[in-house]
């Protein structure tokens, strides 16, 4: 994973504690995170524009910290202690004295504004620790536990920021995060193998006639590997379906964006199937045209999504995350939300952006061909 530049704050001393009433989401720190995402994560930045303004900047600040934390763990060298460093940085953030990093200052504002539960970020860092330790996963339940930490926690944090929701809605948000992570794993089998990681459940591999150690030493695409990838995508599809009803319980100005994100991620799995399930030799990508079609479809479908009359049993791996949020809710109370720009306007913004970029590309090509 490439690492974006990590700009540091101009402040030389730790920030003094500030009361939530003094928070300003037009702050230099949060704007610097926006700039970081524009420069290093253009896809996320564009997608974030579909969120309402009240959520968008906080989401970018949260993403910036998660991205930097992931990079620190992935790129650590012998002698580094990135996990200890991240825990120290979180301690400082929650003490309202963030370290002198833009992403820390920005996350500190989010923590104060939204009273973001600490256990969700701790779970995320625990998932990074599992990666650093080279953990493998015997069963799908073991893989659920990993995905709950590195992705379910993020789903819960996003849902918390959108607020207010019931614990059932938070559970569906966690499950959506897990589904997305399973899709990522199915798509990146070859890439993960190239860096010595194997996330496919070992029992499934053995049942398909694949020795995990032998395969890891010489990764190749076979019908047996395709069978395991298909099985993982089926589990992801089950969780997408289970999470879907939770979208109806989100604040109205957030529903279409989350529905679109769910549909686009699920489409990665559908495209992978169309390409023969070979994620060992190539990485599946959903085309821009297809993404735009799904965005339009999400805006239509979101009006017909209803909260299910039957509350599904939550995935066992996410129960602890939800229970922690329930305890935090009792301490902080519910949060209000304030809708702003309508979803059709945000979709129009995205379409106009793609049109402008295509026009600029055609203009550049025309200039090159001019004698």
Average pLDDT, 10 consecutive residues per value, the chain (371 residues): 35 38 49 55 53 81 85 80 91 91 86 92 94 94 97 94 85 95 96 95 98 97 98 98 90 87 92 97 90 83 75 91 89 52 47 54 61 59
Instruction: State the DSSP string of 179-209.
Output: HHHHHHHHHTHHHHHHTT---S-HHHHHHTT
Residues comprising the chain, all counted: 371
Q: What is the pLDDT of residue 21?
A: 36
Q: Which residues lie closer than 8 Å to 356 by C-beta, 6 or more apart? A: none
Q: Give the residue among 93, 49, 86, 91 at the shortest CA–CA distance from 67.
A: 86
Backbone angles phi, psi at 52, to 5 degrees: -65, 155
- Report how far apart, in Å, the C-alpha atoms of 20 and of each of 28, 34, 95, 109, 113 are: 17, 21, 14, 8, 6
Q: Give the residue among 350, 331, 325 at the shortest CA–CA distance from 155.
A: 325
Rounded Cα distance, 93 and 108, in Å: 5
What is the CATH class of 119-329? mainly alpha
- pLDDT digit string, tens, across residues 190-220: 999 999 999 999 999 999 999 999 999 999 9
Q: Give the residue among 45, 56, 30, 317 at the shortest CA–CA distance from 161.
A: 56
- Report how far apart, in Å, the C-alpha atoms of 115 and of each of 94, 100, 234 are: 10, 21, 36
CATH 1.10.600.10 residue ranges of the chain are 1-13+23-116, 119-329
Specify whether the CB–CB gap between 196 and 246 falls below 8 A: no
Q: What is the pLDDT of residue 23?
A: 38
Q: What is the pLDDT of residue 186?
A: 98
Under DSSP, is residue 235 helix (H, G, I), strand (E, B) or coil? helix
Structure tokens at 300: 């239509």
Q: Which residues lie closer than 8 Å to 351 by C-beta, 6 or more apart? A: 292
Specify whether the CB–CB gap between 22 and 115 falls below 8 A: no
CATH number assigned to the domain covering 1-13+23-116 = 1.10.600.10
Q: What is the pLDDT of residue 309?
A: 67
């Amino acid at each position: 994973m490439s690492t974006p530049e990590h700009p540091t704050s101009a402040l030389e001393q730790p920030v003094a504690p500030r009361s939530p009433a003094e928070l300003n989401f037009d702050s230099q720190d949060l704007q610097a995170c926006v700039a970081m995402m524009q420069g290093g994560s253009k896809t996320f930045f564009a997608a974030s524009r579909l969120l309402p303004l009240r959520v968008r900047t906080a989401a970018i600040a949260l993403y910036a910290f998660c991205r930097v934390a992931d990079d620190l763990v992935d790129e650590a060298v012998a002698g580094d202690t990135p996990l200890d460093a991240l825990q120290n940085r979180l301690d400082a953030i929650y003490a309202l004295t963030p370290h002198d990093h833009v992403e820390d200052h920005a996350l500190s504002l989010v923590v104060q504004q939204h009273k973001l539960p600490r256990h969700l970020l701790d779970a995320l860092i625990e998932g990074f620790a599992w990666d650093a330790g080279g953990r493998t996963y015997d069963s799908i339940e073991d893989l659920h536990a990993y995905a709950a930490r590195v992705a379910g926690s993020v789903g819960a944090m996003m849902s918390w920021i959108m607020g207010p929701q019931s614990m059932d809605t938070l559970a569906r948000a966690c499950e959506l995060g897990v589904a997305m992570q399973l899709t990522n794993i199915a798509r990146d089998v070859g890439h993960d193998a190239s860096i010595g990681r194997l996330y496919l459940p070992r029992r499934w591999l053995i049942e398909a006639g694949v020795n995990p150690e032998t395969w890891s030493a010489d990764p190749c695409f076979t019908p047996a590997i395709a069978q395991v990838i298909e099985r993982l995508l089926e589990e992801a599809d089950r969780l997408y379906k289970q999470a879907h009803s939770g979208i109806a319980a989100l604040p109205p100005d957030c529903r279409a964006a989350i529905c679109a994100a769910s549909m686009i991620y699920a489409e990665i799995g559908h495209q992978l199937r169309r390409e023969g399930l070979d994620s060992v030799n190539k990485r599946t990508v959903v085309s821009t045209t297809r993404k735009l079609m799904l965005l339009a479809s999400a805006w239509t479908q979101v009006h017909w999504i209803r909260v299910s009359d039957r509350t599904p049993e939550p995935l066992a791996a996410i129960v602890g995350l939800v229970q922690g949020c329930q305890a935090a809710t009792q301490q902080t109370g519910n949060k209000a939300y304030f809708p702003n720009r309508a979803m059709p306007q945000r979709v129009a913004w995205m379409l106009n952006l793609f049109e402008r970029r295509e026009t600029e590309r055609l203009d550049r090509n025309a200039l090159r061909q001019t004698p």
